[in-house]
Structure 1
Amino acid sequence: MGGSYLIAGRNVPSHYLAITTLATFGLGIFAVSKRMKSKKPDTPPINASSADEEAFIKEFIKHAEEEEKKKEHH
């Protein structure tokens, strides 16, 4: 097949090293992409002058998100 390397007192074929390198790299990319998908987008803080205004803004945002979900399904 090919050469082998002496690692920790054992002969390791070069194709094992190649497979291990590719698998490690692939798992790293998978882990990073999984983490990026699970992040929830940050929303800016609500700077309302009263509790009623803050409640109105939160209700408006909730309604807008529901409308957007409806549009995605159609």
Structure 2
Amino acid sequence: MVQLYNIAGRQIASHWLAMATLGTITALTFVSSGGSSAVKKTQTPPINASSPDEEKFIKDFLKNADGGDEKTEAHASK
């Protein structure tokens, strides 16, 4: 029928131990895989520009390419 184990003076069935083990593994996996996902999304690689003008141009270009400039989008739709 069901195997019973003596744990802390109580008899516990094997299927309860199996469910507790699977639940614990699932919970630990879920907790350990979480993290600061917001930090990963906002980090960008460093810009190795030779001058401040070049750096400004690269930042503006990336901003426009990502759709960050609302003026450009409104002008392009007309």
Q: Secondary structure, in 3 states, of the residue corresponding to 1:61?
A: helix
Aligned residue in 2 for 1:15: 15
Paired with 1:2 and 1:58, the residues of 2 have a C-alpha distance of 67
Q: Which residue of 1 aligns with 2:28?
A: 28
TM-score by length of 2: 0.59
Report the residue type matching 1:13 in the other structure.
A
Say what the alpha-carbon RMSD is for the aligned residues: 2.6
Identify the residue that residue 55 of structure 1 maps to in structure 2: 56
What's the % identity of the aligned pairs?
51
Runs of 4+ in 1 over 3 A off after TM superposition: none
Aligned: 1:43 with 2:44 = yes
Distance 2:44 2:8 in 1: 51
Deviations 1:26-69 (A, max 9, x none): 2233331x448x262553211111222112212212222228xx
Residues 28 and 66 (structure 1 numbering): CA distance in 2 closer, same or farther, change over 3 Å?
farther
Bigger Rg, which one: 2
Runs of at least 5 residues in structure 2 that lack an aligned partner in the other structure: 69-78
Matched to 1:28, the amino acid is: L
| Structure 1 CA distance for aligned equivalents of residues 66 and 29 of structure 2 | 31
- Output the amino acid matched with 1:8: A
Aligned residues: 65
